[in-house]
Amino acid sequence: MFVPLFLEVIFPILLLIGLGAFLQRRYQFPLTPFSTLLTVCFMPAAVFLNMYRVELNYQVLSEMLVYLLLFTLATVLLSHLLGRILKVNDGEGAALKNSISLMNSGNFGLPVSQMVFSTNPLGVTIQIFVLVFQNLLTYTYGLYNLLAATKTFKDILRSLIKLPIIHALILGLAFQLFQIPLPRALLIPLDYLSAGFISLALLLLGAQLANIRIRVYHKIITWAVIGRLVAGPALSLLIIYLIGLDGVVAQSLFIASSFPTSRNTSTMAMQYQVEPELHAQVVLYTTLLSSITVTLVIFLSSILF
């Protein structure tokens, strides 16, 4: 089952990532406009439609929240412990903490979930909640690690309020809860945008990885890879059994824990000049190696749950 799973789920994703890398090396596209387009248009459309169409279960929502809080606490504690054992400096410590705690739930995670749970919308909806939670974590805890608390709470809150996926999530929930019908004239373009999300997200991820230059291999990278791709799923499985999750909820959360380091860690590190090359290399290595670990986790989730 492992090989067919890899060929049906992971290989198509790697193919699009590779195509994005090839096109970027060949044509050197300016990536900021494409990243903005993905963030403010394609991803919000996918989030809104999924929330609009799924049947919500408040027990599932409460279980997800408990899981996400425990899983985040566990990965944060693990990264802090590793930082102390390795005696890293502040910049390296920020890279290690963010690399283990922050996952690529958007460009990588959402396409994987849409392929794995193509016949079960609940699995994709759970991934969307993970995505939103990860974005909140990125612009609070992630920024704190990089800026050492120089960014005020007001600035962080302002950044979060501006995120289009937050607006899409709230609108989708509102339309779902109050059973507000959307006319076909709006549903059709939203469907087109949502359908284009996967391809654009993966092409853009490949293009961003193509711009990374490897100069020196740092020991932090090894521990970041182990923490994100090995310890992350192991902690997830422990928490899932601890709080008694099962079925699609357990499958989706377990798979979500295996995704590579968020590309936003590299973007923010470059913006604030905190070990930008180290952050970028961690994103590259975890993304490449996750093709194996994510396949294994998907395989295990089908057996365990």
Domain ranges (residues) in the chain? 2-304
pLDDT of 149 higher than 50: no
Q: What is the mean pLDDT of residues 70-94?
A: 91
pLDDT of residue 216: 66
Length of the chain: 305
pLDDT of residue 10: 86
pLDDT of 208 higher than 60: yes
pLDDT of residue 7: 83
Residue 261 pairs in a beta bridge with: 103
Q: 87-105: string of b/e by CB count within 10 Å (b at 16+)? A: ebeebbbbbbbbbbbbbbb
Q: Mean pLDDT over all residues of the chain?
A: 87
Most trustworthy range by pLDDT among 26-35, 74-83, 217-226: 74-83
pLDDT of residue 297: 94
pLDDT of residue 145: 79
pLDDT of 206 higher than 50: yes
Cα Rg of the chain, angstroms: 18
The domain 2-304 is placed in CATH, from the list 1.20.1530.20, 1.10.540.10, 2.20.25.650, 1.10.10.10, at 1.20.1530.20
Q: Helix H segments across the chain?
A: 2-5, 11-27, 31-37, 43-53, 58-86, 90-101, 110-116, 121-137, 143-147, 153-161, 164-177, 184-210, 219-225, 232-243, 247-256, 263-272, 276-304
Q: For residue 299, what are the CA distances in angstroms to 64, 102, 129, 172, 292?
A: 21, 23, 22, 31, 11
Percent of the chain clearing pLDDT 90 (strictly above): 40
User: Given pLDDT bands bounded at 50, 70 and 90, which one contains residue 45?
Assistant: very high
User: Given pLDDT bands bounded at 50, 70 and 90, which one contains residue 277?
Assistant: confident
The candidate with the shortest Cα–Cα distance to 280, out of 32, 62, 95, is: 95
User: Given pLDDT bands bounded at 50, 70 and 90, which one contains residue 161?
Assistant: confident
| Dist CA 23 CA 28 (whole Å) | 7
| Dist CA 278 CA 91 (whole Å) | 9
pLDDT of residue 237: 96
Mean pLDDT is lowest, of 2-6, 230-234, 287-291, for 2-6
The candidate with the shortest Cα–Cα distance to 99, out of 292, 228, 233, is: 228
